[in-house]
Amino acid sequence: MRRILLGTLGFGVIAAILWFVFLRSEGVETVRVVRGDLVRTVEEDGVVEVPGDRRIYATQLARVLDVPVEEGDFVIPGTVLVRMKNPDLDVRIQEARTLLEQAIRDRRGAAELVESTRLLLSDAVRAAERRKHLYEAGAISLSELEEATLALQRLEKDLKRHKSAEDSAAALESGLKRTVRELQVKEAELLVKSPIKGIVLELPPEKDRVLQPGDLVATVAPEARMEVVSDLLSDTMGNVAVGQKVKVTAPVLGDQVLEGKVAKIHPQAFEKLSALGVVQRRVKVRIDLPYSPRLKPGFEVKSAIETESRPGVLLLPVESVRMTENGGRVVMKIERNRIKTVRVKTGISDRRFVEILEGLAEGDEVVRDAGLDLEEGTRVRVQR
């Protein structure tokens, strides 16, 4: 019995050793090399803007009377956005109109005096001529001739005085008319109308608010297009160019992806403080975007600029490729359930996949996590 027990125990130990040496395997997750399209992108947050928006500012001190539209409303040119009132302007217009009416009366009165004086002067000229002929004929005395001459001179002076008064009244009338027109222009500015067809973005927050000159009254944006402004790190600008396709996503869009294109790259970088307090050099990039009613100016979005694309190439997840100390790249290929370290040559990559140029074929199976500590020849068990 003892020999049987010892033999059984010895067989078990030998079997365990054999299993540990030859049959033990590591459980690993694997992926296969697939063929697909790879697009390299430069991703950055951006802010939605509407190019060509029209901002209307207060030109005078005024109080908001009425706001007949709401933010987000669609308007056409001439639509009244805000009605305002300037009491001081009303007083000035009334005063100017009163003065203008008086100036018109004065000018008309002076014109009548000029006309009547001209008639009297015409009669006086004829009378003086007659007396001159009579004096030369000896019919009247010299004093009678001089009397007619003095009357003529007085009327000439009166005509000059009345003409000067008429000219002054006409000049005053013209100046007051100009003043009234200018005040009417200011009065018209109190009725704020939309200059374009578009969407109302901003309005006064409340009625009866007093606006100072230079305060923003309203903003209207055209509906045709939008723009995303992104500040890209200068180090990522090497392959970014005008005209490249851009995919724009945002939580408010859900699963919808908007496609735009790079419209403008500003010529100069600037310093910007990151959220971690690091000073970075960035370049402002403007992206043309089709209009979307779900996006509003000021919304934050994610823009992915497609800088390079490779169709139909071999792909692996980026975590499946490990960089060696000398700068090479290797993967852990599965052959006959054992690890085989294979050197590969890679191409471009994005955040998920890397292009495989040499070393693997489509369908080859490799360990998903190249960072695992697995030696060459280690037996593995694939975990599904």
pLDDT in tens, 322-343: 999 888 999 999 998 899 999 9
Query: Tens digit of pLDDT for each residue in 174-232?
Result: 999 999 999 999 999 999 999 998 888 888 877 788 999 999 999 888 876 789 999 99
What's 26-36+311-382's CATH class? mainly beta
User: What's the confidence (pLDDT) of residue 22?
Assistant: 44
Angle of helix 87-136 relative to helix 142-189, nearest 10 degrees, comes to 160
Q: How far is the C-alpha of 377 from the C-alpha of 152, rounded, in Å?
A: 136
Compute the chain's Rg from CA coordinates: 47
Query: With bands split at pLDDT 50, 70 and 90, how would you rate the model's confidence at 92?
Result: very high
Q: Does residue 8 have a pLDDT over 80?
A: no
Q: What mean pLDDT, rounded, does the chain reach?
A: 88
DSSP per residue, 270-321: EEEE-TTS-EEEEEEEEEEEE--TT--TT-EEEEEEEEEEEEEEEEEEGGG-
With tokens 């006959």, the residue in question is 336
User: What's the confidence (pLDDT) of residue 194?
Assistant: 93
CB 286 within 8 A of CB 231: no
CATH superfamily of 42-51+224-309: Efflux pump adaptor protein, beta barrel domain (2.40.30.170)
User: What's the confidence (pLDDT) of residue 32?
Assistant: 93
Tokens representing residue 364 in the block: 């080859």
- Residues 277-294 have a mean pLDDT of 89
Residue from 232, 235, 213 nearest 86 by CA: 213
User: What's the confidence (pLDDT) of residue 53?
Assistant: 81
Residue from 289, 285, 284 nearest 260 by CA: 289
Query: With bands split at pLDDT 50, 70 and 90, how would you rate the model's confidence at 132?
Result: confident
Which DSSP state fits 68?
Answer: -
Q: How far is the C-alpha of 79 from the C-alpha of 194, rounded, in Å?
A: 5
Domain boundaries, the chain: 26-36+311-382, 42-51+224-309, 54-84+191-220, 87-188
Say what the pTM is.
Answer: 0.56
With tokens 């045709």, the residue in question is 224
User: What's the confidence (pLDDT) of residue 20?
Assistant: 44
- Residues 251-270 have a mean pLDDT of 92
54-84+191-220 CATH: 2.40.50.100
User: What's the confidence (pLDDT) of residue 381?
Assistant: 86
User: Contacts from 1-6 at CB under 8 Å and sequence distance 24+?
Assistant: none
Q: Does residue 272 have a pLDDT over 50?
A: yes
Residue from 75, 91, 80 nearest 190 by CA: 80
**Residues whose CB falls within 8 Å of the CB of residue 134, separated by 6 or more in sequence, listed in order:** 140, 144, 145
Note whether 42-51+224-309 and 54-84+191-220 share their fold: no
Which DSSP state fits 379?
Answer: B
